[in-house]
Amino acid sequence: MNENMMEYETVELDDEDGSIVIIDQTLLPGRTERIRLKTAQEIWDAIYLLKVRGAPAIGITAAFGIYLLAKGIETEDYGAFHKEFTRQKDYLDSSRPTAVNLSWALERMNQICLKNQDKRVAEIKEALKEEALAIKTEDTWVCRMIGEYGLSLVKPGDGILTHCNAGQLATSKYGTATAPVYLGQERGYHFRVFADETRPLLQGARLTAYELSSAGVDVTLICDNMSAMVMKNGWVNAVFVGCDRVAANGDTANKIGTSLVAVAAKRYNIPFYVCAPTSTIDRNIETGSRIHIEERPAEEVTEMWYKERMAPEGIKVYNPAFDVTDHDLITAVVTEYGIARPPFEASFQEIFKRKEEKGLEKRKEYGLG
């Protein structure tokens, strides 16, 4: 463990080169390799293949991506520009369906075109760049705030369990579910973290265990089927997980296996916290039953991480990438504007009101006028 992942940028824009620079997460923990994405196809593939993954990081990549693609549109006519912009935006949006941050970031970029349609195309391109950079900068602030609120829910020495990777590698910095851990680390809280390995793509083993241990956090890797055992042993004081889309009633889509962890936490009376940037809360959908759950190829289950195939040829495989945790299993949703508690509809309303009031202030803070 020789590199501290906290020192790496998960997603960067190299405007001069016309590329997005990401750490190829499919190679971790064996190799830390940066790759450059330039074309729409490269960006789409990197998101689909999970070279860059985690809801906020996908959103940031999409924002940088659509800016670079827009920059390449050669016309002075707004109508023609926006037609091509929309085509590219819809293409990027089709790369993964569950994380709302993807369409949220792309729509935010679209709004910049619409708001500035009286301006020259060159000026619109400049405004798109500023917005994409703001999405990334804001994410760092959002994660830090989630960390502060999350930290208020635990105490020094606590055992924390997490599932999948909602860490720095899934965001611009700190992560969401790991933000309380990193902030606690800065303040000498000495948490003991349990990282579920997270079948089938092993984001917990390959990414969370790696980034936390490389930052000096006390982390223990467990298989997914061990979380009830460590809870029963009394080793877990709180569960923190990330999310890909939260419905208005609090139902939460996150990496497959999350809802099982929530069920076990309820059984053992352990608070279950969802760490959610407000950009991941989709108030357009009332309940989790309306969340589109991505299904992925069978080989991820049968052979991808094994030396040889571990299931009979031709076996039927069901491989949903996410599940929905029912809102009544969730103790609280930790956002950058505070902690929402059941009933979530009302609590989210309060949170979004606070966001509206503070939003303007925040844009000024980032020098965005």
Residues identified as active-site: 244
> In whole angstroms, how close is the CB of 6 to ligand MRU at the nearest point?
15
Residue recorded with tokens 């703001």: 134
Q: Which amino acid is at 248?
A: A
Name which of 164 and 270 has its Cβ closer to ligand MRU: 164
Name which of 125 and 163 has its Cβ closer to ligand MRU: 163
| Cβ count within 10 A of residue 198 | 24
Give the residue at shortest CB distance from ligand MRU. Answer: 242
Name which of 184 and 204 has its Cβ closer to ligand MRU: 204
DSSP class per residue in 37-105: E-SHHHHHHHHHTTSS-SHHHHHHHHHHHHHHHHHT---S-HHHHHHHHHHHHHHHHTS-SS-HHHHHH
> In whole angstroms, how close is the CB of 14 to ligand MRU at the nearest point?
23
CA distance 127 to 40: 20
> In whole angstroms, how close is the CB of 56 to ligand MRU at the nearest point?
5
- End-to-end, the C-alpha distance of the chain in Å comes to 43
Which residues in this chain contact ligand MRU in the complex, by CB under 6 A?
50, 53-56, 99, 164, 166, 170-171, 175-176, 203, 242-244, 254-255, 321
For strands 19-23 and 34-37, give the pairing. Answer: antiparallel
Name which of 85 and 240 has its Cβ closer to ligand MRU: 240
Cross-strand pairs, 192: 159, 218
Name which of 82 and 278 has its Cβ closer to ligand MRU: 278
CA distance 208 to 53: 13
> In whole angstroms, how close is the CB of 143 to ligand MRU at the nearest point?
8
3-state secondary structure 162-214: ECCCCCHHHCCCCCCCCHHHHHHHHCCCCCEEEEECCCCCCHHHHHHHHHHHH
- Spatial contact of 211 and 221, defined as CB atoms under 8 Å apart: no
Task: Name the CA radius of gyration of the chain, rounded.
Answer: 20
Q: Which amino acid is at 169?
A: L
The Cβ-side half-sphere exposure at 145, using a 13 Å CA radius, reads 18
> In whole angstroms, how close is the CB of 187 to ligand MRU at the nearest point?
22
CA distance 112 to 134: 12
Name which of 56 and 250 has its Cβ closer to ligand MRU: 56
> In whole angstroms, how close is the CB of 246 to ligand MRU at the nearest point?
11
